[in-house]
Amino acid sequence: MAASKDVYLIIGGSGFLGRHIVNQLLERGDNVSVFDIVQRYHDVPFYSGDISEKDQVAVALRKSGTTCIIHVASPPHGLKDPSLYWKVNVDGTKAVIAAAQETGVQKLVFTSSAGVVFNGSDIIDIDERLPPPEKPMDAYNDSKAHGEAAVLEANGKGGLLTVALRPAGIFGPGDHQVMAGLYAVYEKGQTHFQIGDNTNIFDWTYVENVAYAHLLAADKLSLLPPAPPFDELPEDEKKHYS
Ligand code: NAD
């Protein structure tokens, strides 16, 4: 018998990345709703609310029958008042976890950020074992790191399975931060400034690929035992990863 399909709630689904996740779920015929403080689209059920209010999240989860949350909500980087980052990204994410456990949601996919391990210097060839720096870059990245830690800590508790993804820069249709920022620099005639020695590198990922990674992460969250470490894989399986 085929496994029953998940019912998705995209928290932050009115935003840039969230909208692409909604589109991809709709394209493959999934049941999807959006929870956000603003409504920008009207083609899926919408729940208006703030993730720092646990009860608002719980109501949306119950009404929508959600089994899988994809939580991409965050205030944008660069706000003058840093207190909002902690309120939404840490306390709000903890409220999402509590609401999920209270209502029997089985899966939670969280959008973290590559910035959680950035220390101001180039970091090359690292993986998820690198811890956040002792001195965080800023309030946004500090809050994303603590939100991520809460999500990973909740894995396997109260019937909830969790995963966090760390995209770096995201570009593509619907972006309102990166291109707007670059254009503002151009408009101010600041194009003759150079930051660093011109060898700086930064990862960028197309938004549809980031969205697809969220669907894959959600699909892989199951009660199956975790995969063995690479060294313990049979030789014929190892070659798939080389
Ligand atoms: P976005 O601003 O376009 O979307 C965020 C959405 O979250 C918005 O619709 C907003 O209304 C909603 N939201 C904010 N506070 C909320 C609250 N308290 N309750 C409910 N909804 C709330 O941002 P984005 O670029 O789509 O980013 C999505 C996620 O990806 C964020 O978590 C961000 O930290 C992460 N991220 C983004 C980038 C990037 O380059 N854009 C890079 C790395 C990580």
Instruction: Report d(CA 128, CA 148) in Å as an integer.
Output: 12
CATH assignment at residue 103: 3.40.50.720
Q: What is the pLDDT of residues 31-70, one digit of tens each?
A: 999 999 999 999 999 999 999 999 999 999 999 999 999 9
| Residue 194 in this model has a pLDDT that exceeds 70 | yes
Which domain range does residue 106 map to? 7-176+203-241
Specify if 118 maps to a domain: yes
Specify if 186 maps to a domain: no
Q: Which residues line ligand 1 (CB under 6 A)?
A: 12, 14-18, 36-38, 50-52, 72-76, 88, 92, 111, 113, 144, 167, 169-170, 177
Specify if 190 maps to a domain: no
- Cβ atoms of 70 and 11 within 8 Å: the answer is yes
ipTM: 0.99
Q: What is the pLDDT of residues 150-182, one digit of tens each?
A: 999 999 999 999 999 999 999 999 999 888 888
Number of separate domains in the chain = 1
Specify if 138 maps to a domain: yes
The reply to whether 87 belongs to the active site is no
The ligand 1 atom at the shortest distance from the C-alpha of residue 50 is 19
